[in-house]
Amino acid sequence: MSLSRWQLGIQQSYKRCFPTSFSAGLLVHPNITRIAQLRCNSTQNQSKNQEPVGPPQNLDRLHKFIAKSRFLTKLNEKPKFRAYFDKLAHTSPVSTITSFLILHEITAIVPLFGLWWALYKLNLDEQYNLPVYFKELLNQCGDSIEKLVDNYDQGFDRNRLILSGAVSYAIVKVLYPIRVLVSLWAAPFFLKWVLAPFRKLGQLFKRQKPANPTDLNDK
């Protein structure tokens, strides 16, 4: 069967888009050739419109750090927080990130061990009603606390120690958004009043240290 020039063009385009399922007999029917042409055009348009997935490469260090956190990314979508992040990015992003990470760890470690000690003294009862989500989180935290305690439970009630530690760890994890907000707010102040003085003190000691040890022998 001879094909017209129009059908031959459709045949070539269909063969280019669907090489494995090409069938010349199906292309003779006008409706089938029209459907094949539409599918081929749709596939080509989708491939052209697809863009590589991932954060832009021209972000500064602070915004790259924000892009790694789902919670910080959601905060960055809000105008107030975006303006605050942009302001921090223009000052000293590396020092600000360092301050944030230190505060983030402090807001986790201090409440964890403080609540752990307080709840252990309260002698929690294992029979208590908790939401299902918190019970699942408590089981996960209990496994982590049990590994942390290991064999360092001499002089303590092991079950009571693990239970109070698991509840403390679960509370700290639930408070994660609040800890992030507090760390973001306090990061510039922590940098100004804590990290900056230590940095100046370190630079002062470097200046006072003799560059060549033989200078002391000459004196």
**Length reported for the chain:** 219
Model confidence band, residue 45 (pLDDT cutoffs 50, 70, 90): low
Please give the distance of CA 62 from its chain centroid, rounded to a whole number.
Answer: 13
* 128 membership: H or E segment, kind and range: none
Place of tokens 């090489």: 19
Query: Roughly what angle, to the nearest 10 degrees, separates helices 5-17 and 30-49?
Result: 40
Backbone angles phi, psi at 142, to 5 degrees: -60, -40
Comparing 81 with 19, the larger pLDDT belongs to: 81
Res 215: pLDDT = 53
Is pLDDT at 139 greater than 90 in this prediction? Answer: no
Residue 118: is its pLDDT beyond 90? yes
Segment holding 148, helix H or strand E: helix 132-149
Q: What is the pLDDT of residue 147?
A: 92
Q: Which of 29-43, 82-96, 185-199 has the highest mean pLDDT?
A: 185-199
Q: If you average pLDDT over every residue of the chain, what do you get? A: 75
**pTM for this predicted structure:** 0.63
If DSSP codes are grouped into helix, strand and coil, which group holds residue 161?
helix
| pLDDT over 70 percentage in the chain | 64
Q: How confident is the model at residue 173 (pLDDT cuts 50, 70, 90)?
A: very high
Average pLDDT on 17-28 reads 48
pLDDT score at 25: 46
Residue 26 banded pLDDT, cuts 50, 70, 90: very low
Which residues are within 8 A (CB) of 54 and not within 5 positions of it... i.e. 6 or more apart?
none
C-alpha torsion 125→127→131→133, nearest 10: 80
